[in-house]
Amino acid sequence: MSTILNIKELEASYTNLKILKGIDIEVGEGDLVAIIGPNGCGKSTTLKCIFGLLDVERGKILFEGKNIADKSPDEIVKLGISYVPQGARVFRTLSVDENLEMGAFILDDRGLIEKRKNEIYKFFPALKEKSDQRATFLSGGQQQMLGVGRALMLKPKLLLLDEPSAGLAPNLTAELFAKIKKINDNGTTIILVEQNASMALAIANKAYVLESGKIAFHGDAKKIANSRIVRDLYLGH
């Protein structure tokens, strides 16, 4: 399996507060990598650095062998990386259909856009039923699925998911995680930042545990999940 993303000695800060203190992460093509850890440890910051939303102070972010640490989000999208922020952040005044079209903003092939929308509707049938409704009327789970669907409109090589289960009921979380696993099984490489560590580790093949801006543990997700120290510190049992 070839490496699609290689993060080396990454450092980043918010104002004067150092968040990431030299982390290394390697993602293989086809991986589903979970990044877990306590609040404030740098999980979401890592995704923001990858997607160009936060300046990299030091280190490299190599995507398909090229350093993207100084690129803007619009450049990064065109390279094949999509990002779903925490809370999905759908366009609430636009319809479901219009939201999906916004995800295809760099495409100018009308036929291709319609084809991609139909694929998303097939994957998320609940969105098809509400395609003409404004996104503000969707449930939290449906908005999260819309956020994921919008990101998939460009068929990314790498999908970044930031806390997709935040605010969702357990049954909706289980449904969403099943969809995330299926997206990965269909060939999309995924980095999943998630507070629900148990569920993230259950669907991931690799995992990184962040603590105070550094990598505390990394390796096979199942081994991480079964590690006594990780269970005691991060999984609550």
Q: What is the pLDDT of residue 108?
A: 85
Q: What is the pLDDT of residue 208?
A: 96
User: What helix, strand, coil percent values describe the chain, rounded to 5?
Assistant: 40, 30, 30
Can you tell me the distance from the alpha carbon of 16 to that of 229, in angstroms, rounded to the nearest whole number? 32
Q: By three-state DSSP, how is residue 58 classified?
A: strand
Averaged pLDDT score across all residues of the chain: 92
Say if residues 124 and 149 touch (Cβ distance below 8 Å): yes
CATH classification (class only), 3-85+155-235: alpha beta
Q: pLDDT band at 163, cuts 50/70/90? A: very high
**Predicted structure pTM score:** 0.93
Q: What is the pLDDT of residue 18?
A: 94
Q: Where are the domains of the chain?
A: 3-85+155-235
